[in-house]
Amino acid sequence: MGSSPSKPTSAGGQSSATLLNPKPLTKAAAEAVKAVFPGAVELPSFVKATHTAVAPHHFTPDGTLACVCICRDEICRPLMSEVVGVYPLTFEFTGLGATLLVGKTGMGAALHHCPEVNGKEFAVFYVFPHIAISSEGHWGGCSRRGREAESQACGALVGLLKQLQGGSPSTDIDKNDVEFSYLRQMMVERLAGKSPADLPNLTIEAQKLNVATLQALIKGAAPEHMDFAVFAGVQIHAPNADYIAPLVHYAVIHGKEHPLKLEGMVEMVVPDS
């Protein structure tokens, strides 16, 4: 018999509840996740591991500003809650599809909010578009609280995928749909005429776009005396809980980039059925 999946716990030791209608994790859902994101881990253990990785470099809960870029979707809040549980000072970079829209002004504002500790400033950045997986193992499908019909996540990326696969999507900015039209424009430019094969592929491309945007903004705004860390990947809404696929994790200390090793994370376990 295979081992049963453990109940996800928060960084503070409490249960980390999904904001979807909670259902048991199925074999179909877990196998689909592991096929695309083999390193998927429980959300609370991931956030705890990020802090453990940077703590030796003097990133403290009260002396660090956390900047969090996630989608506006309410089911993404567990990630924000876990980060706030470790770093109370949190600047939100939310946008549809986790698109980083704050620009130079927003980044400059955030970095001017960093606590000053012995002449240094510390910031951690979390960048995570999201995706759901249904009990049947279908990407994008999810069951929202209070709604009978199956929903989708990320809805913005699902809509964008349909437009990209339909051919020749508009790259104009719609003043009545600024966030989505900007996301579409940037992704069309990034994909350069290619059409993503599926929703996981598009979500990964969105993550890469957001990391590249973040790095450019940091380069233009970060003071020389600031140390920072970047954690990026994909937030996965499984039927039972939220998981994280960590894809990028590094720190810049005294101006030099260092890879970070994330340890102690709890991997998704494929159940027997």
**Tell me, what's the pLDDT at 30?**
96
- One-character DSSP codes across the chain: -PPPPPPPB-TTSSB---SB---PPPHHHHHHHHHH-TT-EEHHHHHHHHHHHHGGGT--TTS-EEEEEE-S-GGGHHHHHHHHHH-S-EEE---GGG----HHHHHHHHHTTSPEETTEEEEEEEEE-EEEB-TTS-BTEE-BTT--S-EETTHHHHHHHHHHHHS----PPPTTSHHHHHHHHHHHHHHTT---SSHHHHHHHHHHHHHHHHHHHHHHH--TTEEEEEEEEEEEE-SSSEEEEEEEEEEEETTEEEE----S--B------
- One-character DSSP codes across 9-21: B-TTSSB---SB-
Q: How far apart are CA 114 and CA 90, in angstroms?
A: 10
**Tell me, what's the pLDDT at 237?**
95
pTM over 0.85: yes
Crossing angle for the helix pair 178-191 and 199-221, to the nearest 10 degrees: 100
| Residue carrying the six token digits 């990947």 | 233
Bridge partner list, 200: none
Bridge partner list, 242: 237
**CB-CB neighbours of 80 under 10 Å:** 17
Per-residue pLDDT of the chain (273 residues; tens, 9 = 90+): 333 434 444 443 333 567 888 889 999 999 999 999 999 999 999 999 999 999 999 999 999 999 999 999 999 999 999 999 999 999 999 999 999 999 899 999 988 888 888 888 999 999 999 999 999 999 999 888 888 888 999 999 999 999 998 887 889 999 999 999 999 999 999 998 788 889 999 999 999 999 999 999 998 887 778 899 999 999 999 999 999 999 999 999 999 999 999 999 999 999 987
**Tell me, what's the pLDDT at 21?**
83
**Tell me, what's the pLDDT at 15?**
37
**Tell me, what's the pLDDT at 45?**
96
**Tell me, what's the pLDDT at 196?**
85
**Tell me, what's the pLDDT at 194?**
83
